Structure 1
């Protein structure tokens, strides 16, 4: 911008100088004998030269302001203002420039505030957000997405880099966690533009994933939003389950009570029967009463989950709770040839727990492990079995792990076993793990059930500290 202005000023100055030199030469040739006229002509030429120079400067002064305005824009100094020169024409031009700078400054502040708000919103949202550049490589990953997918150094790479195995996952993840992340990345990468669908990871957790786009400098860029629906769907299932059980309990309990009363009345007729018939009659009535009582107990087991009281938290040593549970199961494990192992960690401080609820939940977990080993031994009597419990202090959390050699999870998602009425055991009612889920959820615990290797299942529970 500066070079053209200087060239224009030079050309105008050269033109003015050449013109007046030509006129001075003409005066020298035409007026050599008239000194007064010659001097007057020369004086007039000097005055014309000065006036022309002044007019050139005035005419080129707006270019100087334009140059300064350009420099302010280039340096992004939108808060600066140009001083008014005091000339009517230039004042209007400078006022227009200052107005443009003021508008740009306000827009810059608004854009910065919106950008800052958007960045804070993306970091605070529990939904995972991934933004891609024009080549479909990742350009932004918020904290939730980093935690969910565990992609190592994701910026500048497409999602397919983790599907093919070239890119690394978070080093803190084990093989199971990396397989879960890779499967989730594969499902997200296959999502078409505009699609919104439910995706399920290897642990059975459910997510709503949506791929959409926005325009940047006139070109489309894609982004992914992944929302964890597991807790919401579990709450919905829990509410549906509770309503169903209340209806069933009401009808069954009424029927059981009425049936029990009728059966007690029927027993009064025993004395009116022949001795040969009385025995069979009483046996049949007692069998029906026993079945009636079992039906009542069956429905009570379901209602206990629905009517579970709020936990009464007290400082409790988890080590002592595990000691008691293993002692209670020692005899039956010895009778079945199941070895019990316990890696106790005395460094773990007391936790805020409801002892009765946690004991019942852990008893259910150990009971499931024993039954899984029994079922496996029924197919292979030489298999034996082992249950191992480990406690580890992780700083902000405490992890309790229960390993068993039953290995009955199969290929399905383990998380589905925590849903109502779902069980892998013959005759299972799907109550135990649902009860465990409720107890752990009310204690703020997270948990995972997954294969731990060939022929082994692992149940991990993470207890919050403090």
Structure 2
């Protein structure tokens, strides 16, 4: 029960007592009656003053507590004309003004952080205490390649790892790892936490390192290739020249036929080593792409005629399904010819014999898909497939996919190479 109610009860009881006393003394002398009336009037005046000085200020402070509970920091209390109460009112009003300013600043900071996270190129994924996804910014939606953020909210990272390209489930708390994808991109992924309501709350940061890593890789392997190419070519040139001279000098000597054959094998081995190094050097010397609008369907049709002989020889069916509505795309014809030939060649080597390669173009999504039903690519190999000079073949040099990567990077296109659940391996190139 509020203090105001207690005051009303007390006032009524006092007035009843005084009224009953006055009623009992109506026959008393007039002076006594006047005294009782004066006492009742004085009591009423005192109650009014007491209400204004005590009950009303307390009621005002109680109203202020209600405002504070409802977090209405924009309202203020009015002074009541009582010194002690007005001091409390003044302190309360200052507190409310400070809370209002702090709340406004906090809201502005939160809005600023929201805008910053939304605009950030770094992916941010926030989890709840049960490690379920509660929020993710547009960059994270793009990097995870999900159509709708609501589709992954409420799920754990382990539950979505099979449907997204970046597997974050193996990252321990407070650690950072580099994750490579089937399209040659590299991401720096971290799992950290912040304190929310007294408890640690985890979140992921995803940062693209692709361009930085590629520039560093290219700078390193170009320097190594140039140095090795220079030394090997100079050395092999001297050796082959000397061996050719000795072979010519031994021609009149029939007994030296075996020696001449051994020397000829050494010469051929030197030329093979030179060609081996030249293959690496050619990657460094890829010319800059000179792009122009090209009919991709016509380009692929011409290349298929060139590749059909090799496919037919291995009983591989090569099929092209063009989308006639595909608009012209900006390409360097000579470089892109080599890209498609390398992709088809890799598909043929993956199938070996008795298989199928299907090439399709799609106008709506502006993409080229080269699919084969060969041996496929494991998830572990997917992460390394575009690394410089990596090859899953025993005698492979890893040059073909490196060449493809460098050319496609010059064309500013998105691409991926992976084996899907239907056991078809697809090389997908998306043109913006």
Per the alignment, residue 9 of structure 1 pairs with: 7
Specify the alignment match of 1:298 in structure 2: 276
After superposition, the C-alpha distances for 1:393-447 in whole angstroms (9 at most, x for unaligned) are 234xx22111234325357423422222322334221100111111112222222
Determine whether 1:179 maps to 2:175.
no
Please name the residue that 2:385 is paired with.
417
Q: Give the corresponding residue for 1:173.
A: none
Whether the 8 Å contact between 2:183 and 2:386 is mirrored in structure 1 is no
Provide the C-alpha distance between the structure 2 equivalents of 1:459 and 1:202, rounded to a whole number of angstroms.
Answer: 10
Q: Deviations over 1:153-193 (max 9, x none)?
A: 34344456x3xxxxxx6xxxxxxxx7354993xx61x6554
Structure 2 unpaired stretches of 5+:
none
SS at match of 2:431: strand
What RMSD over aligned residues (CA atoms) do the two structures have, in Å? Answer: 3.6
CA distance in 2, matches of 1:182, 1:357: 28
Is contact 1:270–1:278 with CA below 8 Å preserved after alignment? Answer: no
Deviations 1:361-406 (A, max 9, x none): 1111122223334xx33xxxxxx333221111234xx221112343
- Which position in structure 2 is the counterpart of 1:62? 57
How do residues 180-329 of structure 1 correspond to structure 2 at under 5 angstroms? Answer: 181=164, 184=167, 188=169, 192-197=172-177, 207-227=187-207, 229=209, 232-259=212-239, 262=242, 266=245, 270=248, 274=252, 276=254, 288-329=266-307
SS in 2 for 1:360: helix
Aligned pair 1:365/2:335, yes or no? Answer: no
- Cα distance in 2, alignment partners of residues 196 and 452 from structure 1: 28
Of 113, 128, 133, the match for 2:108:
113
Shift, 1:8, TM fit: 2.9
Aligned partners of 2:14 and 2:95: how far apart in 1? 36
Deviation per CA, 1:38-80: give whole Å up to 9, x if none.
Answer: 4255235413422332222221221232133234334433233
Residue 333 (structure 1) aligned to one of 294, 298, 311: 311
Instruction: Look up the SS of the partner of 2:107 in the other structure.
Output: helix
**Contact between 1:452 and 1:458, CA under 8 Å: does it hold in 2?**
yes
Aligned position for 1:175: none
CA distance in 1, matches of 2:330, 2:37: 107
Instruction: Check conservation: 1:338, 1:387, Cα contact below 8 A.
Output: yes
- Are residues 203 and 418 of structure 1, via their aligned partners in 2, closer, same or farther at CA, if it must alter by over 3 Å? closer
Number of matched pairs: 429
TM-score (norm 1): 0.78
Q: Is the 8 A contact 1:129 1:145 kept in 2?
A: yes
SS of the counterpart of 2:370?
strand
Q: Which whole-Å CA distance do the structure 2 matches of 1:12 and 1:136 have between them?
A: 59
Q: Per-residue displacement from partner, 1:307-339 (whole Å, max 9, x unpaired)? A: 333322222222222122212223333444433
